[in-house]
Structures are given as structure tokens and as C-alpha cells.
Amino acid sequence: MKYNIGALIVGLLFAIGLGLSGILQPANIIGFLDIFGKWNPTLLFTMAGAVGVHFITYRLIRKRKTPMFSKEWFIPTRQEITPALVIGSLIFGIGWGLGGYCPTVSVTTLASFETRPIIVFVSIIFGMLLFWFLDKKMNLKSRLE
């Protein structure tokens, strides 16, 4: 139960941060990606702030024996760059740019009941289900790696 409450608090804090930073507005995402037009650096400052906070707190938190809101650490061990990683990253980036929402923002903006975030969120779920289906049928992961 304590882990669920911790996740709820962290999720709410993250959602508030997204709202305050302006990332919930697709125009800010699209403006950031429009480097040859009316470039909007807002997202750059938001990312720099997030990376700065993470840089400091990660080092402090990793000194603990266990995480604050989990029973164990979940730290990736693989470090190689695989074709699956590159292809997935490209698809993710193109989708983010076209939709103007990253997956987290699309979930957060569902509360607005606007059509666009719902379409983006449904598209994300569809893409995940499509990959799951293709992976089961064609063993896609092993072919991409």
C-alpha cells in the first residue's frame, strides 16, 4: 500500500510539473521541434531542469539500500545500442512530433476531455498492442536484435 501511495504522490507531482512547465500544450512541443521556423526553447529549459534535478537526486537516492517507494532497484543492465532500440526510438520521436504529445503528456491531458489527446493515447495503446501481436506472431524482438 505504501508503494502505491508513493507512486500516486510522485505521479501527481510529475503531472503538476508538466502543467506548470507548459509541456501539456502541443504548441510548445511542436514549437521546440520547429528548429527552422519559430523555434520555442521552452521544452529545452524544462528538460534541463529535469535532468539537473535527476542528476543530483539520483546520486543521493542510490546511496540508500533500497528505493523509497519500492522493494528493490530496477536499473537496466543492458548498455548496447540495438536495431530495435534505434527503430523504436525513431518511431517514438516521429509519433511525438506528429502528435505533439509524449505518452506521459497524453495520459495527463486525458483529463481535459479534448479529442486530440484521446486520439494520441488510443494510438499509443494501438501501437503497443500491434507490437505485442507482431512480436508473438513473428518473434520480432529476436529479429531486430
* Amino acid at the residue 100: G
Please give the C-alpha separations between residue 40 and each of 8, 89, 91, 104, 105, in angstroms, as whole numbers.
Answer: 31, 22, 23, 20, 18
Helical segments of 22-102, H only: 26-33, 42-61, 83-99
Please give the C-alpha separations between residue 100 and each of 67, 82, 109, 110, 143, in angstroms, as whole numbers.
Answer: 33, 26, 12, 14, 31
Position with higher pLDDT, 99 vs 85 = 85
pLDDT of amino acid 77: 85
Residue pLDDT, tens place only, 90-130: 988 888 778 777 787 888 888 888 888 888 889 889 988 98
Residue pLDDT, tens place only, 30-50: 888 888 988 988 888 888 998
